[in-house]
Chains A and B, each alone.
Chain A
Amino acid sequence: MEELLEILENLKPGVDFPAQTDLIEDHILDSMSVVMLVGELNDAFDIEITPVDVVPENFKTVDAIYAMIQRLSDD
C-alpha cells in the first residue's frame, strides 16, 4: 500500500489520496494519468493491467487500485 501511495503522490503531487472517495468522478485521475499510473504499477508490482481492467471501479479509490493489484498478482 505504501508503494502504491508513493506512486500516486509522484504522479499527482499534493493530492491527499487516502481521503479521496472518487478519483475518476472528481477528475483527479483522467485517462492520461491512468495510462501513466498503469505503466508505473505494471513495473512496480510486476503485473499486467490490460484495457479490460481499466474501468472506473478499479481506479475509484486507493483501496480499489490496491485490490486490483492484489487480484492481478494472484492470477
Chain B
Amino acid sequence: MAYSSIVYLLPFLGAVVLLYNGMPKKYRWWVLLLASYIFYWLNSPTTLIFLLLSTVAVYLAGIFLNKIQDGFDLSKKALDKEGKKQLRKIVGWQKKAVCACTLLFIFGLLAFLKYYPFVSENINQLLKMIHLESTLPQLKLILPLGISYYTLQAAGYIIDVYRGKYRADPHLGKVALFLSFFPQIVEGPIARFDQTAGQLMEGKRSTYQNLTWGAQLILWGLFKKMVIADRANPFVAEVFNNYTEQSGAVLIMGGILFTVQIYMEFSGCMDIVAGSAQMLGIDLPKNFARPFFATSVNDFWRRWHITLGAWLRDYVFYSVSLSKGFAKLSKKAKEKLSPFLGALIPSAAALFCVWICNGIWHGAGWKYLAYGMYYYLIMLLGMLLEPLFARCATAMRLNRDGGAFRVVRILRTCLLVVGGMTLFRAESLGAFGGIVSKVFTDLSPQQFYDGTLLHLGIDGWDFIAIAAGCVVVLIVSILQEKGFCMRKKIAECNIVLRWSIYLSLILAVVIFGAYGPGYDQVAFIYGQF
C-alpha cells in the first residue's frame, strides 16, 4: 500500500481520520497504534516480528535505565561527596552496559538482515581467492519494512534516556506507537521521542485547518511524485540500465533527471507523510528545506534528508568528536603540530564515521560506501582549503556573500550533487566508473539537442510536463525561501481563486500524472532502505 495509492489515501487514511476523531480523547492514540500495526501487517506481514522485537527491547532497556537512575537518586542522599562519586561511576557503567547491549541487539538485527548477504558474498570471494574450501551460507533474507528508519528512532530513544535527556516511557503501547506510526514507518522522517511522542499520545482533535492544510500537502506531494518523478523514471531506467550503449551527453542528462526524480519523489513522499500526520493534528519534523538552493555541500546536507543528518550529527558526530580519546589527541596535535590541525583532527575523524554510516545506511554495497566517501572527501577538502579560499577571496576582493558569487556556489553545489546522485543510481561502482569514463571519452554533445533524448523511454511531451512541473516547484521554492507560507496565503484567497488553485493541482495530477497503460507504479526509492 504505497502512500501515493488510492487505497492508502482514501479508504485507509480516511477511515483512520474518521475513527480517530470519533473516539474519546484518551483512546485516540489506541486508534493510531492499531492503524499503524494494520498498515505494517498489510505491507509486510512476515517481518512484523522484527519491529516487535526492537520495540520490546528498547522499552525494557528504558525501564531498566529508569530503575538504575532512581536507585542512584535514592542512595546518593545518604552518601558523602566521595561516596557519591564512586556510586556515580558504578551507575554510569551499569547504564552504559544496558545502553550498549540494547544498541547491539537492535543494530545487530539491522546488520544481519540488511548486510549479511553482502558481507557473506564478499567473505566467500575472499576465501575463494586464498583457495579455502569453506564458505558462509547464502541466505535469502527479507528486509523488514522501514527497519532502517525505526531502528534509528529506537536507538535515538534509548541513547537519549541513557544520556538523561528524558525518562523512558513506562507504557509499552506508547513506545510501540512512537516507533511504528504509520505515516513515518516506510521513509521517515526519523523523529526523536520528544518531538512526536507527546503529540501522538495527546489525542488532539483534527481542526478544519489541520484537515485542509494536510490535504493540500498531500496533493502537493502527489504532484511532485506523479507528474515529475514518475514521468522521469522510464528515461532514468533506460539510461542507467543500458549505460554502455549511451553517450556521455545522454548519461549526463540521466544523472540530472535522476537527481530531479529522487528529489521530487522523496520530498513528495515527505509531503504526503507530513500531510497525513497533519490531518491527525500531528506535526512531524521537517526533512527537506529546498536543498537545491544550498551554497555548499555542507549546506546541502543541512537541507536534504534533514532528520538523518541530524541523527548522525547528534549520535555519531558529537559522540566521536567530543570523546575523551579525541580530546586528548586534539590537544597533543595542537601542541606538537599546529592549532589548525589540532582543531581539525576530531572533526575530520568524526566526519569520517558519519559518512561511513551514511553510506552503509543507504544500502549494502561498495557503491554506497563510495557514495559516503564521495561526500566525506568533498567536505574534508572544503575544511582543509577553507583558509586558502578565504585568503584568495580577500586578495581578489571577492564578496563571498554577494549575489553573483552565491549563484556560482549554488551551481557548483548542484554539479557535485548530480555527481553524487549518479554514483548512487549506478548499478555498481564499476558501472559508475564506466559512466564517468563515457562522459570524458564519448561526450557527443550534439545529442543534447538532436532528438536522441526523445527516444529513451519518454517523448517530447513528457519532457515538457517534467519541465513545467519543475518550473512550478521552483517558483514555490523561491517563494518559500523568501519566507512566504504558501498554504497560509492560499487560505487567505477568496473561494474562487482558492478552489481554482486546488482544481489546477488536482487536474495536473490527473492529466499529467504518470499512471495507467505504459507506466508501472514506481515504488518509492527511499522505501527500499
Contact A36 B165 (CB under 8 A): no
Q: Which residues of B contact A (CB under 8 A)?
A: 163-165, 298-299, 302, 313-315, 317-319, 321-322, 327, 330-331, 342-343, 346-347, 350-351, 383
Contact A35 B318 (CB under 8 A): yes
Contact B322 A35 (CB under 8 A): yes
**A31-B313, A31-B347, A50-B163 given. 4 additional CB < 8 A pairs?**
A27-B302, A35-B321, A39-B330, A54-B322
Select from chain B the residue with minimum beta-carbon distance to A52: B163
Contact A51 B298 (CB under 8 A): no
The residue from A27, A30, A43, A51 contacting B318, defined by CB atoms under 8 A apart: A51
* A42 interface residue per 8 A CB criterion: yes
Select from chain B the residue with minimum beta-carbon distance to A14: B390
* A38 interface residue per 8 A CB criterion: yes
Complex-state Cα separation, A40 to B343, whole angstroms? 9
Contact A30 B298 (CB under 8 A): yes
Q: Which residues of A contact B (CB under 8 A)?
A: 27, 30-32, 35-36, 38-40, 42-43, 49-52, 54
Contacts of B313 in A (CB 8 A): 31
Cβ of A6 to closest chain B Cβ, rounded Å? 14
Contacts of A51 in B (CB 8 A): 163, 314-315, 318-319, 322
Cβ of A73 to closest chain B Cβ, rounded Å? 17
Contact B343 A39 (CB under 8 A): yes
Contact A32 B347 (CB under 8 A): yes
Contacts of B343 in A (CB 8 A): 35-36, 39-40
Contacts of A43 in B (CB 8 A): 331
Instruction: Given A51-B314, A51-B322, answer yes or no on A35-B350 (Cβ-Cβ < 8 Å).
Output: yes
6 A-B residue pairs with Cβ-Cβ distance under 8 Å, sorted by A, are A32-B347, A38-B322, A39-B330, A39-B346, A50-B322, A51-B322
Interface contacts (Cβ under 8 Å), in number, total 45
The residue from A30, A39, A52 contacting B327, defined by CB atoms under 8 A apart: A39
Select from chain A the residue with minimum beta-carbon distance to B321: A35
Cβ of B490 to closest chain A Cβ, rounded Å? 26
Query: Which 3 A-B pairs rank lowest in CB-CB distance, beginning with the nearest?
Result: A51-B318, A36-B343, A35-B321
Contacts of A49 in B (CB 8 A): 322
Contact A35 B298 (CB under 8 A): no
Tell which of B302, B322, B342 has the most Cβ of chain A within 10 Å: B322
Cβ of A23 to closest chain B Cβ, rounded Å? 15
Contacts of A52 in B (CB 8 A): 163-165
Cβ of A31 to closest chain B Cβ, rounded Å? 5
Select from chain B the residue with minimum beta-carbon distance to A11: B343
Contact B322 A31 (CB under 8 A): no
Complex-state Cα separation, A49 to B318, whole angstroms? 11
Complex-state Cα separation, A7 to B298, whole angstroms? 24
Contacts of A27 in B (CB 8 A): 299, 302
Select from chain B the residue with minimum beta-carbon distance to A34: B318
Cβ of A10 to closest chain B Cβ, rounded Å? 9
Select from chain B the residue with minimum beta-carbon distance to A49: B322
Select from chain B the residue with minimum beta-carbon distance to A40: B343
Cβ of A52 to closest chain B Cβ, rounded Å? 5
Complex-state Cα separation, A8 to B234, whole angstroms? 52
Tell which of A31, A38, A50 has the most Cβ of chain B within 10 Å: A31
